[in-house]
Amino acid sequence: MSQRQSVALSAVELQTLENNLRARRGASVLVIGARCPMEAFQDDLRESAQRLGFQPEGDGRFIVSISPGGGAKLGWEPAKAPTHTIH
């Protein structure tokens, strides 16, 4: 069973993450050998999570969800375990 965890983001934190993503996207176009922007952005999300005291365990990925009312959350989505089929 997978369990999603999240922590609220302030408007300033969300804006900082958006600026980082824009910079990563620009670097991926302009800098030879730059990392994929979404892979690099995961590092930014991980750093933000650590600053907020949010340190999920195991394999997975960070996600940002924005609600229609303007609130935002930094979430953790655990990796799904591979399913094995019996033949």
CA distance 71 to 14: 10
pLDDT beyond 90 at 7: yes
- Range 50-58, long-range pairs (CB < 8 A, 24+ positions): 52/7, 52/9, 52/13, 53/7, 54/5, 54/7, 56/5
Residue 34: alpha-carbon gap to chain centroid:
19
Nearest to 74 by CA among 9, 4, 3: 9
Task: Provide the residue ranges of all domains of the chain, joining segments of one domain with +.
Answer: 5-78
Per-residue pLDDT reduced to its tens digit, 9-33: 999 999 999 998 898 888 888 888 8
pLDDT beyond 90 at 40: no
- How confident is the model at residue 1, as a pLDDT? 42
Q: What is the pTM of this model?
A: 0.75
